[in-house]
């Protein structure tokens, strides 16, 4: 059943577990995500970026998610706009039937971020839709970073408190050292958990971790074995994810892991069966691989067996 984002995340916040927010760009990814949630008995957040909406058309995004949520009526699912860049973009998603939107104005100065977020919150709440915002800049931090440099890029707990109080945003993505894609850390992975705990204490709402793909060994190996090049990229280790959840993260965004798992299977199929041109024979192993990644992740996050 399609529900608003805060319905899923407030429960996770109260009971202290994480819910995966999985990106999709096609039927195959969406099938894998729903089938995994069904298998793991987990609540679900599916998310589409502006790029995914452009690729599929917003009407198809909605109809695919409605079809899948009718197929699995026992799974509470929120449809979330990932990284909305403007009020108009968020309004379009709200009007189309998304149940959660992110306004990402984190590259603006604090005051402008707050004003734009508040504008989106006022509109979205009038339509019973939840809102996520972001504070700080998403980028990896290194061991030798100075305190000043850290304060310049990562979330400021004082600001987070004021931001949530004034904007009434439903959940917040605080920058604590993760970044998007496969290339998150130059050296050893490092996140600022102290800062995270402080933000949770001051805001007391669900927090969101972006750039949280882990690139587990099985995914890495399948990608490399089929000729993929990760260029030394590494993800956020599972124990960092569980530590983040202990520190107050309840929504964990996962995209890169799913892409790597899917593409490795398509590539393997192509290499091993040069005469094959039945699309389903390429996509089915991809779906199975993505499902396995998601089921494992739901167990790590603690959302498995919550429905
Ligand atoms: Zn993100």
In the predicted model, what is the mean pLDDT of the chain? Answer: 94
**How far does the centroid of ligand 1 lie from the alpha carbon of residue 277, in Å?**
35
Q: For position 19, which CATH number holds?
A: 3.20.20.70
pLDDT digits (tens, 9 = 90+) for 244-301: 999 999 999 999 999 999 999 999 999 999 999 999 999 999 999 999 999 999 999 9
**How far does the centroid of ligand 1 lie from the alpha carbon of residue 253, in Å?**
7
Catalytic site residue 278?
no
**How far does the centroid of ligand 1 lie from the alpha carbon of residue 172, in Å?**
12
Q: What pLDDT band is residue 7 in, cutting at 50, 70 and 90?
A: very high
pTM of the predicted model as reported, rounded to 2 decimal places: 0.95
Q: Are 90 and 118 in contact (CB under 8 A)?
A: no
When divided into structural domains, the chain yields a total of: 1
**How far does the centroid of ligand 1 lie from the alpha carbon of residue 184, in Å?**
12
Residue 118 has pLDDT above 90, yes or no: yes
Residue 139 has pLDDT above 80, yes or no: no
Q: What pLDDT band is residue 143 in, cutting at 50, 70 and 90?
A: low
| DSSP H or E stretch at residue 83 | strand 77-84
Return the bridge partners of 247, or none: none
pLDDT score for 160: 97
Main-chain dihedrals φ then ψ at residue 300, nearest 5 degrees: -65, -40
Residue 150 has pLDDT above 90, yes or no: no
- Assess if residue 91 is contained within a domain: yes
For residue 303 the two structure tokens come to 């959302």
Q: Which domain holds residue 151?
A: 5-301
What beta strand segments (E) does 95-248 contain? 100-103, 130-135, 171-174, 207-209
User: Could you give the CA distance from residue 240 to residue 210 in angstroms, rounded to a whole number?
Assistant: 13
Catalytic-role residue among 38, 82, 255, 257: 82
Contacts of 142 (CB under 8 A, 6+ apart): 185, 186, 187, 190
- Assess if residue 306 is contained within a domain: no
- Assess if residue 307 is contained within a domain: no
């Amino acid at each position: 059943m399609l529900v608003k984002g805060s319905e899923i995340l407030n429960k996770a916040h109260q009971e202290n577990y994480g819910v995966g927010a999985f990106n999709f760009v096609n039927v195959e990814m969406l099938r894998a995500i729903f089938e995994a949630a069904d298998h793991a008995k987990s609540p679900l957040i599916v998310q589409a970026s502006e790029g995914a909406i452009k690729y599929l058309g917003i009407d198809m995004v909605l109809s695919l998610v409605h079809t899948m949520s009718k197929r699995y009526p026992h799974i509470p699912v929120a449809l979330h706009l990932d990284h909305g860049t403007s009020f108009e973009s968020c309004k379009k998603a709200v009007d189309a039937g998304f149940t959660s939107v992110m306004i990402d104005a984190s590259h603006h100065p604090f005051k402008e971020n707050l004003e734009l977020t508040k504008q989106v919150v006022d509109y979205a709440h009038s339509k019973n839709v939840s809102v996520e915002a972001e504070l700080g800049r998403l980028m990896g931090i290194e061991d030798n970073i100075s305190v000043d440099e850290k304060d310049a890029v990562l979330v400021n707990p004082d600001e987070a408190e004021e931001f949530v109080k004034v904007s009434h945003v439903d959940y917040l993505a605080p920058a604590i050292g993760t970044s998007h894609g496969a290339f998150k850390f130059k050296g050893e992975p490092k996140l600022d958990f102290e800062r995270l705990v402080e933000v949770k204490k001051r805001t007391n709402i669900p927090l969101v971790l972006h750039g949280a793909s882990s690139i587990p060994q099985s995914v890495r190996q399948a990608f490399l074995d089929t000729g993929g090049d990760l260029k030394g990229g590494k993800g956020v280790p599972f124990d960092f994810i569980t530590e983040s959840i202990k520190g107050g993260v309840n929504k964990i965004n996962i995209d890169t892991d799913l892409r790597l798992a899917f593409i490795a299977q398509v590539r393997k199929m192509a290499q091993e069966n040069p005469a094959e041109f039945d699309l389903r024979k390429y996509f089915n192993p991809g779906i199975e691989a993505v499902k396995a990644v998601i089921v494992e992740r739901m167990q790590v996050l603690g959302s498995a067996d919550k429905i």
